[in-house]
Structure 1
Amino acid sequence: MFKQLFVCALALLLAGPLAAQETELRPVIHEEVWLMKRLGAPVVAPDGERAVVSVTEPSYEEDEDVSDLWLVTIDGSEPPRRLTATPSVESGVDWRPDGGAIAFSAKRSEEEDAEAQIYVMDMTGPGEAQQVTELSTGASNPKWSPDGSMIAYESRVWPGLEGDEANAERKKAEKDDGINVSRYEYFPVRDWDHWRDDKQTRLFVQAPEAGAEPRDLLFGTELVSGPGYEGGLNAAWTPSGDALVVTATENLHEAAHSIVERHLYRVPLEGGEPHRITDGSDFNCGGAQFSPAGDYLYCHYEPINDWVYNHNEIARGEWNGSGIDGELDVLTAGFDRSVGGFDIAADGETIYFDAADQGRVRLFAMAADGSEITVLDAESRGVYGGVQAAGNFIVANWESSAVPVEVVRVNAETGRHAALTDFNAERLEGLDRPAFREFWFTSSKGRRIHNWLALPPDFDESKQYPLVLFIHGGPFSSSLDADHVRWSPHLLASEGYVVLLTDYTGSVGYGAEFSRNIEGDPLATPGEELVEAADIATERFDFIDPERQAATGASYGGHLVNWLLATTNRFDALVGHAGLVDLEGQWATSDVIYHRERMNDGPPWGDSEVWDEQSPSTYAPEFSTPTMLTIGEQDYRVPLNQTLAAWTYLQRMQVPSRLLVFHDANHWIMKGKEARHFWNEVHEWLAEYLKDE
């Protein structure tokens, strides 16, 4: 009886706004977006009957966020059960191969210099998680050995130092010396929102019990001794348990002038030099997964060629116990979409993966040898992620423009899913969050362009509403059939606007050629398509007011906002976050640069005319549209100088403008109160130019 009631409740959740149409709906406000629970990817138990998922309950007070692990039954027979109840965030969950325990990383000490450590929780009965590591530099990403007798994990330690005592002394010395300076001899020096430090990621193993002695498997090796080493590691135990396979690079120090290559290395458990097992300078390979039988190694594969954009593929090689026999076989080479996450079924015969496809993220099944790929539901809406095989089913996260994220069980035969959780059902109930509308048009260059429309609250087809463009970043991204906690189309629409989301040239999910067409043409054609999209939408839909229109965007979308500022005056107002105004200025100060000169047909001092012709600053005398600019001071991807320069041009041309600098923010505004303030400012700015008096 309980199971029937639980399934009915989840069915109502998936119905979302349809079930609430007969009641009075409330509009989306920032609280409805920010306070939605956020789910990590589910981690399925070895028996395929349970999964653990991380659930964050956000707050506007930073120290009041709650993030815990929950246990989900995959047959839906029981409601989700909370496993942890502590203020700290748990991450990197891994099941012991027999399903009797999980390991995860968490910071539970309240000491000022405390670091995250590895904890083990018994899953056969009640009990508290037990801390098993105590490194001064912390521990993360645990991985159980095949026999469950050991745990591997990562820690960021200082090069040349062996043992935790030496690292603890170095940590204390750096804290006590009072010198706040960094020294660099190689690029890059920054990463997203922080200056790079001297530490490196190394691989440790130990018994899964408190007081066990950790062993640093990479200390003293040539791999970590070079200037270009960096390891995301993403370790996987070999089937025999005598080694681990990690992902690393040896040429990060060449990032200013070369493509950084990432490859797989076998790290022997007994110690010794890691052996590179993927050989070649024409591809990257990482994130190793072994087949259930242990006879194949699979990895994420990306070609290295003349194109900046390449699909992420799945490749495999025969595993001989110590390496790969022959060359990797790229299984998805004929599949014209980029692969997201993937997982291998327990019988080893099928691989399930997700891929962006025409404004959605859909699920696909592929024979393990790559001989056949099928879409599970060619008509699916929404976005799948965190794909995990579970017996005869697939477990994943799913959300759509109408329904917030939940864990779902997918029928591998039909592609249809059923919700296993209802974490956001209560907040969704009665919320005016309609599904996006969809349309296509053919651009002036003959390209098919996909679009979504987000509609305002209490939408009335017979009325006219202002139009606001919502330009996605990337550019190798897309506007998906989902809401977004940072850049919410529903929240933008909530003040009475129709919001247009256009997948301009360069967007993904439409084939490699469509994405690559932006190379050498970074702003002009996408900007042209955005204007065409606004024109087409206005022409097709009578509910769009042709006289009141604006454009907004962040990151690459912010670049395009500045391009619209430079090249058209058809919009009444603009809002740009973290956008460049000068291509060379962005190239010279960003934390990643080499792909930018490849995008622009050569370095700034070469023959390419792109640097000048497609820099918004070139057309500063044409700036005339009222513009609000926002930026995070800690943004090192699109550094502060670009927004300050755009602001200076606007002020010099005496254009109505507003500048917001979020001093503690990086590329994203991630503090709740600051995010709410940002949206209040956006709505105030747009209302000034779009609302009727």
Structure 2
Amino acid sequence: MSLLRRLALPRATRATIVLLALAAAAASTAASAAGRPITHEDLWGFARLSPPALSHDGRFAAVVATRPAYDPTQQSADLWLLPTDGKGEPRQLTFSKAAEAGPVFSPDGSQIAYTVQREGDTAPQVYVIDLRQGGEPRRVTSISTGARTPQFSPDGSKLLFVSTVFPGTMNDADNVRIAAERKARKDNVRVYTGFPIRNWDRWLDDRQQRLFVVPAAGGEAKDLLAASALVKQPGFGGRFTETGEEIDATWTPDGQAVVFAATVNRHRAAFANTHTDLYRVPATGGDPERLTGSGAIGAQDSFGRPQFSADGRHLVAQFTPRGEKVYQPTHLATFSWPAAKAGPTITVPGDLAVSSFGIDADSRTLWMTAEEAGHEKLFSARIGDTEARRAFEMDRGVYTGLQVADAARGVLVANFDSAVNPPEVVRINPRGGHRALSAFNSAQAATLDLAPAETFWFDSERGARIHNQLVKPAGFDPAKKYPLFVLIHGGPHIMWRDSFFTRWNYHLIAGTERVVLLTNYTGSTGFGTAFAQGIQGDPFEGPANEINQAADVAIERFGFIDGQRQCAGGASYGGHLANWLQGTTTHYRCLVSHAGLVNSEAQWGTSDVIFGREQNAGGPVWERGGVWVSQNPMLKAASFQTPVLVTIGEQDFRVPLNNTLEYWSLLQRRGIESRLLVFPDENHWILKGENSRTFYRELDQWLDRWESAPAN
């Protein structure tokens, strides 16, 4: 039965979720044989949760729960308060149409600050809600450039936040004036003198990220960096994200300064690696002091997300080495404070990368999560250690957005999800397992037939140990024969996780008709540094061989897979690999390529990032050496013959539209049956509800067609 023929269950109302919270939190959301297949309406309607914020005493967590809707005007994102002892019901704090973001507790736990653009605001502002007195939230900022990521000072009297401002500005009046001048211009032109010029789906301009401090009672905000030489450097900036740019910052324990991470060499990104250093700036503003970097600690290495211990004696930050290898794992760097003297770097067993971390109330114990073999697991270490320890083993799901208060009382909070569990906020037992604190999604998930992802391993032909997950369809019958869809992850430096994925949901793709195979090929994270770095210099051929072998192994091991009916596809790097398969194998009846490059040389010249591609290929593109020629999918076009569904977002600057058009031209020139979907208002991902529904429908129909076609 296709996606079009599956009936949707209406989403539970907010009130129903509150009433079911206690019962559903305790209920298992494991697959139910009596459940029904998941629909796109189910998938799209599940709440999406922000990382939780935790009060200093660990009694409460706050989270923003977004309720998506196909009509964006009907979407809501509200702030919820969750007791961490599990004894009280979740409490909804906001009810406006506007979307709240970035909640944070005051030191005494009596207030929560967050940002939102309410009616009458021209940009998001910082608001504070009083948990004891109740009433309407109080607006703290009125800055024309908007505010985000607020943080209370240690004494609760001030708030730190980030805003994006015009260069050379000293106050908000300057920003208002420059914005008016630019709006009044008659021309419309972008002018650049250096790199980078784009990021994911937006053109970059000359605006900068700055740090501001404002009294918690409200008043004029102070730009801490306005008068500094730092912001005048051509390569100054924060950390690029998928949605924009951020500056990671935190108050010093005495509240007299702010420690933050920034780069000053972004303008070198066309021909060198860039990095971020830690700086300290007075809370009254001035010239920042660099704490790491050339001539100090960790020259050319990257530091970010700084945190202080409760006793104020230790600073901990994420630390990523830089070198000739494109991929490097993230560790934890420790410093004494206030001397900022470097202590031991803490690594994770198996040379894994730290994803998130928190410092315990004892000011000595660090808790962190790291990806490993399809999961994101919990680890711990003491300051002074050089390697963390696994807290406990886990065989399902992932923990994300870890927050720590007092592990001695078991107050570690995170979001948890798995392939069969949409996300919920949970309290983790440091000795193993967790208890749900929310029930935004669990009641509806329990009505669905979602088979847990099954894990298997094999040794590749070149001796690598390869991890795989297999997802069975709803209503699975072991006596039947099912076609196989080989789903290829992007990155390449990510991994297929036992998680609830919206953009490529394993169970929605499987439906009732097919088995889905997820292979963590060489280059994937979660299996150690050497494995992740193994793709450098071999971008397509080696990983593709492992993907093909994984399909063969799955067919051999699982008798319910019909080896005569296979298709494969993926997005981003998964699309690159699908395009490589197009020219190197007839293994598959059909292919799916979303945001996939076909011409490595064109991708180098038009993507928003380029130097890492040069490093991966072993030299600059104009030398046309090594893999620039030997592993360029376009040069295999004489062997193209597999029908392919090609999709792209027109606003994608990571894998720009030109590569899709080149691929489409080659397919048409070769007379290969294919179908092209261009989403004009999408970027690297298909994020809008109706577009997502169309994408899944087209994918399902394409696979239905070729899986049911007679064998050649």
TM-score normalised by structure 1 residue count: 0.96
2:356 to 324, 333, 341: 341
Match of 1:196 in 2: 204
Q: Which residue of 2 is the match for residue 147 of structure 1?
A: 155
Contact map agreement 2:222 2:285 (CA 8 A) in 1: no
Provide the alpha-carbon RMSD of the alignment: 1.6
Match of 1:87 among 92, 97, 105: 97
Amino acid at match of 1:619: K
The one of 505, 511, 514 aligned to 2:528: 511
Post-superposition Cα deviations, 1:537-595, rounded to whole Å, max 9, x if no partner, equal 11111100011100010010000000100100110000110000011111111111111
Report deviation, 1:6.
6.3
1:644 and 1:4 mapped to 2: Cα distance?
A: 51
Query: Is the alpha carbon distance of 1:5 and 1:136 closer, same or farther for their aligned partners in structure 2, counting shifts above 3 Å?
Result: closer
Q: In the alignment, which residue of structure 1 is the partner of 2:472? A: 455
- Against the structure 1 CA distance between its residues 625 and 607, is the aligned structure 2 distance closer, same or farther, given a 3 Å change threshold? closer
* Match of residue 315, structure 1, among 325, 333, 358: 333
Size of the aligned set, in residue pairs, is 679
- For the residue of structure 1 that corresponds to 2:248, the secondary structure is strand
Could you tell me how far apart the structure 2 residues matched to 1:110 and 1:571 are?
Answer: 56
Q: Secondary structure at the match of 1:618?
A: helix
Using the alignment, how far apart are the partners of 1:17 and 1:302 within structure 2? 37
Question: Residues 21-67 of structure 1: CA distance to partner in whole angstroms, max 9, x if unpaired?
Answer: 3x3x2111111111111111110001111010110000000111110
| 1:16 counterpart SS class | coil
Question: Partner of 2:397 in structure 1?
Answer: 382
The TM-score normalised by the length of structure 2 is 0.93
The answer to whether structure 1 residue 324 and structure 2 residue 340 are counterparts is: yes
- Equivalent positions of 1:521-536 (< 5 A) are 521-536=538-553
Runs of at least 4 residues off by over 4 Å: 3-8
**Cα drift, residue 374 of structure 1:** 2.2
| Residue 479 (structure 1) aligns with | 496
Q: Aligned runs of 1:258-277 on 2, under 5 Å?
A: 258-277=272-291
Note if contact 1:483-1:490 (Cα within 8 Å) is conserved in structure 2: no
Q: Is the 8 A contact 2:370 2:378 kept in 1?
A: yes
Q: How does 1:339-488 map to 2 (within 5 A)?
A: 339-370=354-385, 373-391=388-406, 392-393=409-410, 394-412=412-430, 414-488=431-505
State the shift of 1:418 in Å: 0.9
* In structure 1, distance between residues paired with 2:19 and 2:93: 24
- Per-residue deviation, 1:534: 0.5
Partner of residue 71 from structure 1, selected from 68, 81, 102: 81
> Structure 2 matches for 1:502-651, cutoff 5 A?
502-606=519-623, 608-651=625-668
Amino acid at match of 1:105: T
Aligned to 1:492, which of 499, 503, 509?
509
Letter in 2 for 1:61: D
Helix, strand or coil at the partner of 1:17 = coil
Matched, 1:225 2:248: no
Quote the Cα distance in structure 1 between the aligned partners of 2:144 and 2:665. 46
Give the aligned partner of residue 11 of structure 2. Answer: none
Matched, 1:234 2:244: no
Residues 222 and 284, structure 2, Cα contact 8 Å, conserved in 1:
no
Whole-Å Cα distance in 2 between the matches of residues 345 and 315 of structure 1? 16
Deviations 1:59-81 (A, max 9, x none): 00011111001000000001111
CA distance in 1, matches of 2:40, 2:154: 46
**How big is the shift at 1:110?**
5.1
Q: Is the 8 A contact 2:377 2:399 kept in 1?
A: yes
Q: Per the alignment, in what secondary structure is the counterpart of residue 605 of structure 1?
A: helix
Query: In 2, Cα distance between the equivalents of 1:471 and 1:520?
Result: 19
**Partner deviation per Cα, 1:456-492 (whole Å, 9 max, x = no partner):** 1110011100000110111000000112111111111
| Aligned residues of 1:362 and 1:380 also touching (Cα < 8 A) | no
Q: Is the 8 A contact 1:495 1:683 kept in 2?
A: no
Shift of 1:9: 3.5
Q: Which amino acid aligns with 1:639?
A: P
Residue by residue over 1:166-224, the C-alpha shift from the partner in whole angstroms, topping out at 9 and shown as x without a partner, is: 211211222232422111001011111010012101111111123x1111111121100
What are the superposed Cα offsets for residues 201-260 of structure 1, whole Å, 9 maximum, x if unpaired?
A: 1111111123x1111111121100011100232210111111101110001111000111
- Determine if the alignment matches structure 1 residue 297 to structure 2 residue 305: no
Are residues 404 and 333 of structure 1, via their aligned partners in 2, closer, same or farther at CA, if it must alter by over 3 Å? closer
CA distance in 2, matches of 1:148, 1:6: 32
| Residue 191 (structure 2) pairs with residue 173 (structure 1) | no
> Structure 1 pair 692/457, CA: closer, same or farther in 2 (3 Å)?
farther
In 2: Cα distance, 1:65 partner to 1:343 partner:
32
Matched, 1:671 2:688: yes
Q: Letter of the 2:266 partner, please give it.
A: L
User: What residue identity is the alignment partner of 1:400?
Assistant: S
Structure 1 stretch displaced more, 252-261 or 602-611: 602-611
Q: Name the structure 1 match of 2:117.
A: 107
1:118 aligns with 2:126: yes
Partner letter of residue 271 of structure 2?
A: H
Alpha-carbon contact 2:403-2:414 (below 8 Å) kept:
yes
User: Aligned pair 1:163/2:176, yes or no?
Assistant: no
2:623 match: secondary structure: coil
What secondary structure, in the 3-state scheme, does the structure 1 residue paired with 2:615 have?
A: helix
CA distance in 1, matches of 2:549, 2:352: 26
- Rounded to whole Å, the distance in 2 between the matches of 1:342 and 1:284 is 16
In the alignment, which residue of structure 2 is the partner of 1:136? 144
Match of 1:41 in 2: 51
Per-residue CA deviations over 1:490-541 (Å, capped at 9, x if unaligned) read 1110151100000000001111111111000011100000000011111111
Mapped to 1, the partners of 2:79 and 2:494 lie a distance apart of: 30
Which residue is 1:247 aligned to?
261
Task: Name the SS of the counterpart of 1:677 in structure 2.
Answer: helix
| Cα distance in 2 between the residues matched to 1:517 and 1:569 | 26
- Is the Cα contact below 8 Å between 1:315 and 1:332 reproduced in 2? no
Tell me the amino acid that sits aligned with residue 249 of structure 1: T
* CA positional deviation for 1:4: 14
CA distance in 2, matches of 1:335, 1:158: 44
Distance 2:285 2:39 in 1: 56
Task: Describe the SS at the equivalent of 2:267.
Answer: coil
- Given residue 324 of structure 1, which amino acid in structure 2 is its aligned partner? A
SS, match of residue 47 in structure 1 = coil
Asked whether 1:97 is paired with 2:136, we answer: no
State the 1:8 CA deviation.
5.0
Distance 2:699 2:513 in 1: 13
Within 2, Cα distance between the matches of 1:171 and 1:244? 28
Show the counterpart of 2:4.
Answer: none
Instruction: Give distance in 1, aligned partners of 2:37 and 2:689.
Output: 19
Contact 2:423 / 2:500 at 8 angstroms: preserved in 1?
no
Q: Is the 8 A contact 1:119 1:133 kept in 2?
A: yes
